[in-house]
Structure 1
Amino acid sequence: MFKSNDILRKQTALKGERKISMLVGISLAFTIHVVGVYWWYQNDDLLYPLIMLPPKSIPPFWHAIFIIMVNDTLVRQAAMILKCILLIYYKNSRGRNYRKQGQMLTLVEYLMLLYRALLPTPVWYRFFLNKEYGSLFSSLMTGLYLTFKLTSVVEKVQSFFAALKALSRKEVHYGAYATSEQVNAAGDLCAICQEKMHTPIILRCKHIFCEDCVSEWALVKSADLRSFSDGTTSLLFQIF
């Protein structure tokens, strides 16, 4: 029994090292790509919208689309770099806290969704203020765009603060903390990690596991949020 547990721990540790190596490789590849693209297109007004400033000159329609799509793609890659760093941090930390890891990944994604919603604003603001279409038309289009954009951004802000609030919550969403009597009755051995239970949780099905172990598979978000706890990110482009 103890020999098989040792083998299982060694296999788990080896898999963990491989995952960390893969995460480091992905982070380096995305970092090189993001830096390289911005260096290559440094004269194409890509950097100004990143700090919420309009391009220097009024961009043609397709150039505006180009700026927005490139920035949106690279910001998503930057978010993935941050998520990889978080995954490496939690994999190397003593006593994996899967619930906190999932909450942090969800928070990063909602922050990026908010930032990506703002990214096209300075580009289209400059585009719609083109006086060649007439002052009335440009003012009307700018006003309509900013109105619709404000509605979208308010929703993203609310979601971000909901994710931030969920980060500070301590309650367990998938069961309750087990008493010492319940733990002793179950044998005080976690069926997932095969070790003495640490902060045991009793599920609604009455099974008991370590909190960190069960959090890897259980829900880690509040009811009003979509979970990005596995590190996923939205693949849809934020064009407008």
Structure 2
Amino acid sequence: MQHIIGISIGIGLLTTFMYANKSIVNQVFLRERCSKLHCAWLLVFLTGSSLLLYYTFYSQSLYYSLIFLNPTVDFMNFWEVLWIVGITDFILKFLFMGFKCFILLVPSFMMSFKSKGYCYMLLEELCQYYRMFVPIPVWFRYLIGYRELDGLLGWSFGVLLGLLYLILKLLSFFGQLRNFRQVLRIFFTRPRYGVTASKRQCSEADDICAICQAEFQKPILLICQHIFCEECISLWFNREKICPLCRTHVKNQLDNLGYDLEIVSAHSF
């Protein structure tokens, strides 16, 4: 009962996150048919929720955690640390989801669906890394100041806990560094799966994409000589590495990387 307000806010933040995340995923799947009004509403909703939360707890300066500073809380016990870390984690999710909403609002003639997919992928990876490092100052301050044991023993145990925490964080960082470098390489190199098909080649294929069953949009000719829309085949190769028609294995720079550019989800630690 002493933490009923914090628990209620936590439930509210979780509900907000689930609603906004599901809505963003649905809008991404709609591609060019996504509702700009709904995306704008999600952006305003996430921004308003974050500002209202920080305004309500202005005296605690919870926003300090976003820039790796300690909030102005005189005494932090275990539950207060969980509160600060949890609030900051949700706000970071809202922040990066807001960036995704902003990308959704960009007209298709300024940024193609495939380019948006690369941006979603990069944002998701940046979000994971930022969320990994943000709670370090708060937890480290709590562990160093551990006072469950009195005297030198308590101080030594606190230092040991703090060092162990930093080591685990470094191991986690280096464990994900390879994936992060691959994401950066893919984002900047924008790998292609084939060459642009000519009008004659498209005519020979009846000008119909075998995946979407519509007229070719930016047709790509694969090594097996089959033609598909660039966006269609890009989404296909996120799941399969073979031609949809002849099952020929197509080599590309995305082998061994399991990112799906279309799925926009915020993973939790």
Q: Indicate whether the TM-score tops 0.5.
A: yes
Preserved contact between residue 238 and residue 260 of structure 2 (Cα < 8 Å): no
Change (3 A) 1:22 1:120: same
Work out which of the residue numbers 179, 183, 187 in structure 1 matches 2:206. 187
Structure-1 residue corresponding to 2:167 = 147
Whole-angstrom CA distance in 1 between matches of 2:192 and 2:37:
32
- 8 Å Cα contact 1:50-1:71 kept in structure 2: yes
Secondary structure at 1:225 match in 2: coil
SS of 1:209 mapped into structure 2: strand
TM-score in terms of structure 1 length: 0.78
Indicate the residue corresponding to 1:47 in structure 2: 63
The TM-score, its normalising length taken from structure 2, stands at 0.70
Which secondary structure does the structure 2 equivalent of 1:161 belong to? helix
2:120 matched to which residue of 1? 105
Given the alignment, which residue of 20, 28, 36 partners 2:36? 20
Return closer, same or farther for 1:74/1:58 CA change in 2, 3 Å cut-off.
same
| Structure 1: runs of 5+ lacking an equivalent | 1-13
Provide the C-alpha distance between the structure 1 equivalents of 2:79 and 2:138, rounded to a whole number of angstroms.
Answer: 12
Match of 1:233 in 2: 265
Paired residue for 1:223, among 255, 261, 267?
Answer: 255
1:66 pairs with 2:86: no
Determine which structure has greater relative contact order: mean sequence separation of CA pairs < 8 Å that are 6+ residues apart, divided by chain length.
1
Query: C-alpha distance in 2, partners of 1:211/1:75?
Result: 33
Partners of 2:68 and 2:134 within 8 A in 1 = yes
Q: Distance in 1 between matches of 2:68 and 2:177?
A: 16
Q: Residue 221 of structure 2 aligns to a residue in which SS? A: strand
| Superposed displacement of residue 219, structure 1 | 2.3
The number of residues matched between the two structures is 220
Q: CA deviation at 1:207?
A: 4.3
Deviations 1:45-97 (A, max 9, x none): 422221112334441001100111111111111111101111221xx131762
Conservation of the 8 A alpha-carbon contact between 1:110 and 1:156: no
- Root-mean-square deviation (Å): 2.9
Same amino acid, percent of matched pairs: 28
Alignment check: 8 A CA contact 1:176 1:203 kept? yes
State how 1:63-142 maps to structure 2 within 5 Å: 63-89=80-106, 92-94=107-109, 97-130=112-145, 132=147, 133=149, 134-142=154-162
